[in-house]
Every structure is written in structure tokens, then in C-alpha cells.
Amino acid sequence: MGSALSACTGRPGGKDGDLPCVLLVGLDGSGTTTILYQVKHGKKLETIPTLGMNKEIVKVDGMDFELYDVGGLEKVRALWRTYSKEANGVAYVVDSSDPNRLPQAAEELKKLFFGDKKKKSLIVPDIPLLVLANKQDVADAVSIDTVAKDLELHDLPVRNYKVLPTVATDGTNLREGLKWMVDQLKLYGY
């Protein structure tokens, strides 16, 4: 587990040692911790619901960056904003095998970028958004087109977005997705 006090300070042209950071979030059970461990360790590890945040430094396509996996349970979700303050990119994970929760996933994603009535969004707009339509191995998982449509991605204030079908348990498309994120970060001067 990472420290709750860690903050990501990576900025283009920042101090030596500053790394870009990517926020890895989704509703509870969507697979963010499975993704974090799969990318870091190359295998599926057992997970329990994340009640805070897990952080790992990962290397993709020659670039080191910090991946912040923040728990998705409702009581933990307020932390998304805390860690989104300095995010240089967002990877948003959706459970494609549970289409009934797509409206809620859409609502939380919008809150992240627009804030809600009570709190203004703290996320920096105009950053890349990678959407991982996870659990594609499950029969009847919805397609990436359905996920993109239901999340109303075209309306978000992001610089660029991409949706990929993933299977976190075997690693399918995870590195490909993060490679896209790294390409985006490089475009911004990292």
C-alpha cells in the first residue's frame, strides 16, 4: 500500500526524479487493482477491496511513471479527487460484464472531470483519458462501442481518449493501453 500522503508531482520540465502520474480508477470490482498488479508483476494476484490507494512505479515503452490505483467503493471514491489533483492522465476501468452499472460508471467519470454540485472538480482538464472496457472474457460482455457511448466520452473535457477491450486477469491489452498513454504523455513533453 502506498502512503496516503504521497502526492504526484510529475510535470513536464519538473524537478529531476519527478515522474508523471496516471490515476487508475473505476467503480468497485471493475479490476483496477488486478490491472495494477498485472502490469507491475506480469501475473494475476489475489485482491481484496481497496480501502485507500495502491501506488506502483511502472515502466512502459521506456518511460517510468506512477500508477495510482484508488479504491472504487463508494466510501473511498472521495479520494479520487485527492489523487486526481496532479494527474497527468486517467485510466478509467469499466466492468463490461455488468452493463447495469454503466450509468453509475458514467456519472462518476463525469464527476471526476466536471465536479458535482457540492464540490468543484480538481482534476486538470485537457489530459488524456484511457478507458479500459475490462472483463471481456466474460460471456455477454458489452463492446467497447457500447462503453464509449454510455460513458458519453465525446462530451468530456479531455485532450484525447481511447477505449480498449481488456482482460485484466490474463493481461490482454493492458500494456497496449498504457503504451497509448505513454505516447500521449510524450506528446505533452515528458
Ligand X SMILES: Nc1nc2c(ncn2[C@@H]2O[C@H](COP(=O)(O)OP(=O)(O)OP(=O)(O)O)[C@@H](O)[C@H]2O)c(=O)[nH]1
Residue 34 near residue 47, CB atoms below 8 Å? yes
| Binding site partner of 73, from ligand X, Mg ion, none, Cβ cut-off 5-8 A by kind | ligand X
Does position 33 bind Mg ion by CB under 5 A?
yes
Q: Rounded to an integer, what distance in angstroms lies between the CA atom of residue 38 and that of residue 100?
A: 26
Bridge-partner residues for 128, per DSSP? 160
Which residue, 38 or 50, has its beta carbon nearer to Mg ion?
Answer: 50
- The annotation status of 116 as a binding-site residue, yes or no, is no
Does 30 appear as a known binding residue?
Answer: yes
Taking residue 183's Cβ as centre, other Cβ atoms within 10 Å add up to 15
DSSP string, 30-66: SSHHHHHHHHHHSS-------SSEEEEEEEETTEEEE
Instruction: Answer yes or no whether residue 50 interacts with Mg ion by CB under 5 A.
Output: yes
Residue 31 interacting partner from ligand X, Mg ion, none (CB closer than 5 to 8 Å by kind): ligand X
Using CB under 6 A as the criterion, which residues of the chain lie in contact with ligand X when the complex forms?
26, 28-34, 47, 49-50, 71-73, 134-135, 137-138, 167-169
Residue with cell 481518449: 161
User: Binding site residues, as ranges?
Assistant: 26-33, 50, 72, 134-137
User: Binding site residues for GTP, as ranges?
Assistant: 26-33, 72, 134-137
Q: Which residues bind Mg ion (CB under 5 A)?
A: 33, 50
User: Binding site residues for Mg(2+), as ranges?
Assistant: 33, 50
